[in-house]
A = this chain, B = another copy of it.
């Protein structure tokens, strides 16, 4: 079951790119907020590295509420659930880090994520974006899904040459060092 780009801009959800033994695929990161006390739930058959990656994205957002125009008390007011459909498919690795952070900021600021954007990159606690593997396969799956803009780590610049030219020409690659740049290109203004 191949992924497809969203039909509308989504709030609280972003599209990542995965690389598995079966090749590349897109994956949705979904966030739900509910009145609560700061509990973080992670589901979608996620491996330990991906869970820790989500925790890093979450802590980054919590530590930058002021700069991100997020209520600094959100953690005390809400329970946060991060889910990655399709629930029976195992997922792992750190490369969904910036996608999780983007979906989370979208949910907390009510700013939609552009429907044509996919992204991949490890996030650190300082918001830095670290390089990832499988850029070629990820780009092919993004293209197949109908995405047109792909946000990638600057350090993966050297891997662009591995993507078939026909695909590369259809896609706009945005190279980033920091989550601020991701958010700038992925988020629309508040609804």
A residues near B (Cβ < 8 Å) are 1, 10, 12-13, 28, 30-36, 38, 41, 43-45, 48-49, 52-53, 55-56, 59-60, 62-63, 65, 72-73, 75-76, 79, 81, 83, 85-88, 93-94, 97, 122, 124-126, 128, 130-131, 155
Contacts and interface: CB of A to CB of B under 8 A. Distances in A.
A45 to B, nearest CB: 6
Contacts of A81: 55-56, 59, 63, 125
Given A1-B155, A85-B130, 13 more contacts: A30-B125, A31-B125, A32-B59, A32-B62, A34-B59, A35-B73, A36-B38, A43-B52, A45-B52, A52-B87, A83-B124, A83-B125, A87-B122
What number of copies of this chain does the assembly contain?
6
A102 to B, nearest CB: 15
A45 B34 CA distance: 27
B36 A75 contact: yes
A30 B55 CA distance: 13
A81 to B, nearest CB: 4
Contacts of A126: 10, 12-13, 30, 32
Among A31, A88, A122, the most chain B Cβ lie within 10 Å of the Cβ of A88
Contact of A59 (B41, B55, B72): B41
Given A13-B126, A41-B55, A56-B83, A88 B49 contact: yes
A58 to B, nearest CB: 9
A94 B1 CA distance: 15
Nearest to A85: B124
Contact of A52 (B44, B55, B97, B130): B44
A2 to B, nearest CB: 12
Contacts of A33: 63
B86 A130 contact: yes
A32 B48 CA distance: 20
